Structure 1
Amino acid sequence: MRVFAVIPAWNEAPRLGGVLEAIRPYVDGVVVVDDGSVDDTSSVARAGGAITLRHMMNRGQGAALRTGTEAALRLGADIIVHVDADGQHDPSMIKTLVDPIREGEADVVFGSRFLGIDPTGMPKIRRMYFWAAKLFNTYVVGISRRVTDPQSGARAMSAAAAKVIDFRQDFSAHCSEILRLVTKSNLRWKEVPVHVRYTQETLQKGQKFTEAFRILWHLLIRGTK
């Protein structure tokens, strides 16, 4: 089965090259979507051997993932893995995400930073944010089955599942939207533990409470139907 990584990237030139090198042993192809960067992200992606697409303006992580997922399907991917461009994800997680799909156990696999792992290493503000997201997904979005990490960007899906999961949220609300669509479509899914490496740089660019309010707005006004 051909595994393609899809990487949304916005001003990630300093980190992207290392990510591409690290994930190469685990995938058959890589699609990088430069989401309107003003640095050399596209050049770094091409130099790293990735199929490189570019948005002329910053449209959001969800939009970049949608563009990359559609491209991976056209290129003949059997399994698609979403990977962050900033190096937070341990590249070995790709095998952990992909194996349940290869073995016929699931259609979609979500990586969880909390499953079977002590979350105390996560910054306090992020722990608060993700616990709030869990409650929101249960009581507003309507995901009844317990999800330990609803805002994780690490996920894998079969090509068949990717064709069904027609997510439209352009920004961070896509995480909750994908969960809702997976549940609504009765796709088989599971969570697996993944390790995330936090640095001062990635913390500074991470989600803040203002982003949490934007997620709530988009899901309540645009995407919960």
Structure 2
Amino acid sequence: MKISIIIPTYNEEKTIKKIIDYVQGVAYPADYEIIIVDDASIDRTIEKEFLIKLKNKKEKRNIRIFKNRINRGKGFSIRKGIKRSTGDIIVIQDADREYDPQDIPKLVMPIINGECLVVYGSRFLGAKWPQGMAFQNLIANKLLTWITNILYGTKLTDEATCYKIFKTDVVKSMDLRANRFTFCPEVTAKVAKKGITIKELPISYNGRTSNQGKKIKAKDFLYAVLTLLWQRIIK
């Protein structure tokens, strides 16, 4: 069994090195690989000095780095990472340190044990208002999850969570096309339409503000709702 941890990045020079250290510092229940897909960052996220330093570390053996020639969006980077993955389980990990990699082992165990095919880490199980989450984001998350449950008959508490864990063959069998933040509602809709139950487990969360680099905007909520509606209409 092998875990593929996909980290999409865009202008994350302040956090990328730390998140790699955090991800590598976890005691995983299986072998793992880290796949970094940089979305044509204009800062020093994937700088030459960093790559040279990484190559000199023995930990480099389980890290692969890809860079988009032009900015294509988070969804495109995730899809690229999924395509390049060699593991049996896919884990999506943000680079901004809002999500703690120490939660990954408990999230992958239900799949390793054959209990389910998909696991979501929920910020709302055990926390009515996740730490650092702005009020408008709280309302948007709650509303988006409610719409998902109404349209697809799911019982989710956190549709928009970054921590989405998949059995690799399940997610690779899907015709995923989203290029930006609509990856989340698209993949959730397609999992639900396949009749696959999504298991949720509580995770820790430490939100950041737009001033700290958070990129999701109000328009992304609208795009997410439209994606859910469109996926419900089409076959």
TM-score by length of 2: 0.85
Worse-superposed segment, 107-116 or 179-188: 179-188
Tell me how large the CA RMSD over aligned residues is. 2.2
Matched with 2:76 is: 63
Query: Is the 1:6–1:83 Cα contact (8 Å) retained in structure 2?
Result: yes
Which whole-Å CA distance do the structure 2 matches of 1:106 and 1:46 have between them?
Answer: 40
Post-superposition offset of 1:215: 2.5
- 1:177-216 map, 5 Å: 177-200=186-209, 204-216=213-225
Matched with 1:53 is: 66
- Per the alignment, do residues 45 and 4 of structure 1 end up closer, same or farther by CA in structure 2, a change over 3 Å counting? farther
Post-superposition offset of 1:187: 2.6
Which whole-Å CA distance do the structure 2 matches of 1:22 and 1:161 have between them?
Answer: 27
- 1:107-122 map, 5 Å: 107-119=117-129, 121=131, 122=133
Post-superposition offset of 1:101: 0.6
- Per the alignment, do residues 208 and 45 of structure 1 end up closer, same or farther by CA in structure 2, a change over 3 Å counting? farther
Query: Is the 2:130–2:205 Cα contact (8 Å) retained in structure 1?
Result: no
Query: Is the 2:176–2:187 Cα contact (8 Å) retained in structure 1?
Result: yes
Per-residue Cα deviation, 1:122-150 (whole angstroms, up to 9, x for no partner): 321111111121232234xx221211001
Post-superposition offset of 1:19: 0.4
Query: Is the 1:88–1:198 Cα contact (8 Å) retained in structure 2?
Result: yes
Matched, 1:5 2:5: yes
Matched with 2:57 is: none
Which whole-Å CA distance do the structure 1 matches of 2:35 and 2:211 have between them?
Answer: 22
Which whole-Å CA distance do the structure 2 matches of 1:68 and 1:216 have between them?
Answer: 25
Worse-superposed segment, 187-196 or 107-116: 187-196
Post-superposition offset of 1:217: 4.0
Matched, 1:41 2:45: yes
Which blocks of at least 5 consecutive residues in structure 1 are unaligned? Answer: none
Q: Secondary structure at the match of 1:18?
A: helix
- Per the alignment, do residues 57 and 46 of structure 1 end up closer, same or farther by CA in structure 2, a change over 3 Å counting? farther
Matched, 1:29 2:39: no
Per-residue Cα deviation, 1:197-223 (whole angstroms, up to 9, x for no partner): 123467652423222123334454578
Query: Is the 1:45–1:52 Cα contact (8 Å) retained in structure 2?
Result: no
Query: Is the 1:134–1:150 Cα contact (8 Å) retained in structure 2?
Result: yes
Matched with 1:136 is: 147
Query: Is the 1:45–1:51 Cα contact (8 Å) retained in structure 2?
Result: no
Post-superposition offset of 1:168: 1.2
Worse-superposed segment, 156-165 or 209-218: 209-218
